[in-house]
Structure 1
Amino acid sequence: MELGNNLYNARKKSGLSQEEVSEKLGVSRQTISKWELGETLPDIRQSKRLSNLYHLSLDELIDFDLDVQEIQEVIDKTSDEVTDKVDWTKAWGKKYPVLITYQQQVKTDFYAKELGILLDDLRQKYNYNELDAMLVLKDILATVWKTRK
């Protein structure tokens, strides 16, 4: 997505009009329009002011994705009580059917034992609780997976 679209989506998500943004930044409404259409770009100072106005970092503003932003907001607003009620395997299994079928094919005892050892190691060495150890291990696994793609 190009920067102009990011600026437009971030402004809309913030509930501001071009006129309101222009007043807050001390530029014309036409300038805001040109930025959003990709005809011109804001300078670094104006970009920083836009990021503050939209409550985003500069990186988030440059890479602004409305769908990702909305998903993040749902995650932030979801309580632990609701999260605990979700059958995550079933939910993700709709998108990734292997999560529903692998248990009939894979001898999970071996992997469970090895992962348990890794979880215990993280807990002991870094004094993580069960959840934190699992999240760290999941993140490490995701990083390994991404580097193999």
Structure 2
Amino acid sequence: MSLGNSLFNARKKSGMSQEEVAERLGVSRQTISKWELGETLPDIRQSKKLSTLYHLTLDELIDFDLELKEIEEVIEKTSEEKQKKIDWAKVWGKRYPILTTYQDQVDAESYKVKLQEMLDSLKVKYGYSNEDSFLVLKDILARIWNGSQR
């Protein structure tokens, strides 16, 4: 996505018009339009003002993805109580059917034992809680999947 699209989406998400943004930054509406169309770029000072105005970091502003931001907000606003009521395997199973069928094919118990050992190791070695151990192990698996072992 281009910087112009990111600026447009961030502004729309903030509920502001080009005129309102221009007024707050002390520039013309045409300047905002040119930034959003990718005809020109804001300088670093204006970019910082935009990020503050839209409540984003500069990195977030540069790569602003409206759909991703909305998903993040839904997750942040969802209470733990609600999250516990969600059958995540069923929800994700709509996109990844293997999550609803593997139980009949995979000896899950043998994997549970190994995974539990890893979770216990994280708890003992680093003093993590059950939840933190799970999240760390999940993140490690995600990094392996993404090929970005750091």
TM-score by length of 2: 0.96
Extract unaligned runs of 5+ from structure 2: none
Confirm or deny that 1:7 pairs with 2:7.
yes
User: Could you tell me which residue of structure 1 aligns to residue 115 of structure 2?
Assistant: 115
Deviation string for 1:46-65 (max 9, x for gaps)? 11110110000111111101
User: Could you tell me which residue of structure 2 aligns to residue 37 of structure 1?
Assistant: 37
User: Could you tell me which residue of structure 1 aligns to residue 64 of structure 2?
Assistant: 64
Q: Distance in 1 between matches of 2:18 and 2:109?
A: 58
- What amino acid is the match of 2:100? I
- What amino acid is the match of 1:120? D
Q: Distance in 1 between matches of 2:89 and 2:15?
A: 36
User: Could you tell me which residue of structure 2 aligns to residue 127 of structure 1?
Assistant: 127
Q: Distance in 1 between matches of 2:23 and 2:30?
A: 12
Deviation string for 1:117-141 (max 9, x for gaps)? 0000001111111111001100010
TM-score by length of 1: 0.97
Secondary structure in 1 matching 2:147: helix
State the identity as a percent.
67
Deviation string for 1:4-39 (max 9, x for gaps)? 111011001001111111111111111000000111
What is the deviation of 1:110? 1.4
Q: Which runs of 4 or more aligned residues in structure 1 lie more than 6 Å from their structure 2 counterparts after TM superposition?
A: none
Deviation string for 1:97-116 (max 9, x for gaps)? 00011111111111111100
Q: Distance in 1 between matches of 2:121 and 2:135?
A: 14
How many residues in Structure 1 have an aligned counterpart in Structure 2?
A: 148
- What amino acid is the match of 2:84? D
Confirm or deny that 1:104 pairs with 2:92.
no
